[in-house]
Amino acid sequence: MDEALAKKLRILADAAKYDASCSSSGAPKRTAGKGELGSTTGAGICHAYTPDGRCISLLKILLTNYCLFDCAYCVNRRSSNVARAKFTVEEVVTLTVEFYKRNYIEGLFLSSGIIKSPDHTMELLTRVAKSLRRDHGFRGYIHLKSIPEASPWLIEEAGLYADRLSINVELPTEVSLERLAPEKNGLVIQNAIQQIGERIVEAKAEKRRFSPAGQSTQVIVGADATTDEALMRKSAHLYGSFNLKRVYYSAFSPIPDGSTILPLKSPPLQREHRLYQGDWLLRYYGFTPDDVADATEDGMFALDVDPKLAWALKHRAHFPLDVNRADREWLLRVPGLGARAVDKIIRARRHTRLRLEDVARLTSGLKRARPFLITEDYRPSGGLTDRLDLRARLAEPPKQLSLF
């Protein structure tokens, strides 16, 4: 690999790293046929971890970080002084294929700054995906960050080659968008998300290929004053109305050459973590947006207890629950019990009466679960569930997750 290409790679990987949506999940399982390269596994594979604890699954790069937009939170905004570079379509294809052959990556996550026009940029992104599929028999994962301002037919074409399309909501409110991302428009973004959503549903029904791993989006956290509750309601709306696979929350992070209109301090990473936990409650634990809102204080999740525990502490009258009797729906509300543990409990109790040591084998969260559970041989003593200091007993000591 020559030094000129390596230099571009350094600039354009650095410029892409603030997008959190890197997973290679959700694609239908497929393997390479004769003469083809690549497969997808369903859940995706993390090929390496960087010292920030994040997984490298896809080659996450920008086609270029030249950009005509001026979004305050973005390192690549046109008024930023960062070093700039631009790959050719062929260079991205080569990097993807050669990295893939060495088992470094699951595929490509390609995004771009806006050059010339949104249409021109979107066409380039699609050309990369098309060349990988057509010229190289590439069957690995391709995620294209679509450009909502591009003409709708270009988004239609991108879906033919990509496994996943995503469009970033970026900021949860129209007001913030106007202030921090002047070239963006909430309605344009929403229309594009809706277009992709409709096409995915149609294609699935007609057994055609269109972004088979669905659609995801990203919201930046902490760049404006939006509360966790508002973020959760926004996500519930996105999941419910547009059938999104994932909403990613990205605590805005200090960037080289930051903008003056951003808050000085980034939010604690723990806040991002709590938002993901709240998101899971919406998607896998049967919590309604109101339930999740109920787990916040003044609209914000506590940093020292997880949202499910916060909810349970507020609704102690429902607990303790008998693991040998309670409904699945309610067991899912017990802090410390994951969805898998709940399913195991329900399966096992058909054959045996569960004791505390049995539950200990089914979950790793027994410490948190204990005050809320009754088993064959155990019941929280001395009104443990009602103790005032319960929260303090269960709260996590402050972690080194915060930045400073």
Binding another protein by CB under 8 A: which of 25, 65, 99, 325? 99
Pick the piece of the chain touching another protein (CB under 8 A) from 76-84, 85-93, 172-180, 314-322: 76-84
Segment near another protein (CB under 8 A); pick from 93-101, 229-237, 295-303, 311-319: 93-101
DSSP per position, 100-167:
HHTTS-SEEEEE----S-HHHHHHHHHHHHHHHHHHH-B-SEEEEE--TTS-HHHHHHHHHH-SEEE-
Nearer to another protein, 125 or 282 (CB): 125
Is residue 95 at the binding interface for another protein, with CB under 8 A as the rule? yes
Shortest gap between Cβ of 193 and another protein (angstroms)? 16
Tokens of 50: 């960087």
Q: By the 8 A CB rule, do 364 and 312 touch?
A: no
Q: Does 60 bind another protein (CB under 8 A)?
A: yes
Alpha carbon distance 77, 75 (integer Å): 6
Q: Which stretch binds another protein (CB under 8 A): 163-171, 303-311, 343-351, 364-372?
A: 343-351
Residue type at position 364: S
Nearer to another protein among residue 14 and residue 174 (C-beta) = 14
**Which residue from 185, 190, 227, 259 is in contact with another protein, where contact means CB under 8 A?**
259
Stretch that binds another protein, among 186-194, 254-262, 309-317, 328-336 (CB under 8 A): 254-262
Given candidates 26, 38, 336, 371, which one binds another protein under the rule CB under 8 A?
Answer: 38
Q: Any idea of the CA torsion for 139, 115, 250, 93, to the nearest 10 degrees?
A: 20
Cα R_g (the chain), whole angstroms: 23
Angle at 73 between CA 220 and CA 182, to 5 degrees: 100
Q: Hey, which residues between 153 and 212 contact another protein (CB under 8 A)? A: 153, 156-157, 160, 183, 198-199, 202-203, 205-206, 208, 210
Question: Is 365 among the residues that bind another protein (CB under 8 A)?
Answer: no
Residue 177 or 390 having the CB closest to another protein: 177
Residues 374/319, Cβ–Cβ less than 8 Å: no
- DSSP letters, 95-112, are HHHHHHHTTS-SEEEEE-
**Residue 366 touching another protein (CB under 8 A):** no
Nearer to another protein, 121 or 166 (CB): 121
> Does position 388 bind another protein by CB under 8 A?
no
- Residue of 298, 350, 388, 389 that binds another protein (CB under 8 A): 350
**Euclidean distance between CA atoms 13 and 2, whole angstroms:** 16
Stretch that binds another protein, among 29-37, 233-241, 289-297, 309-317 (CB under 8 A): 29-37
- Detail the DSSP E strand segments found in 186-325: 215-221, 246-251, 321-322
Task: Give residues 280-339 in contact with another protein (rule: CB under 8 A).
Answer: none
**Residue with tokens 């960050």, as numbered in its chain:** 145
Closest contact distance (angstroms) between CB of 324 and another protein is 11
| CB neighbour list of residue 140: distance below 8 Å, 6 or more residues apart | 37, 38, 39, 40, 96, 100, 105, 106, 107, 108
Smaller CB distance to another protein: residue 153 or 288? 153
Binding-site member from 63, 89, 114, 171 for another protein (CB under 8 A): 114
Looking at 36, 174, 294, 304, which residue binds another protein (CB under 8 A)?
36
Distance CA 250, CA 229 (A): 16
- Among 142, 275, 313, 354, indicate the residue that binds another protein (CB under 8 A): 354
For 191, counting Cβ atoms within 10 Å of its Cβ (0-12 exposed, 13-18 middle, 19+ buried), the class is: middle
Q: Which of 146, 211, 253, 385 binds another protein (CB under 8 A)?
A: 253
Q: Do residues 218 and 178 lie in contact, with contact meaning Cβ atoms separated by under 8 Å?
A: no
Nearer to another protein, 19 or 291 (CB): 19
Q: 371, 305 in Cβ contact below 8 A?
A: no
Segment lying near another protein (by CB under 8 A), choices 77-85, 229-237, 325-333, 380-388: 77-85
Q: Figure out which of the listed residues 4, 28, 116, 393 binds another protein, where binding follows CB under 8 A.
A: 116
Contact segment (CB under 8 A) with another protein among 1-9, 185-193, 218-226, 236-244 equals: 1-9
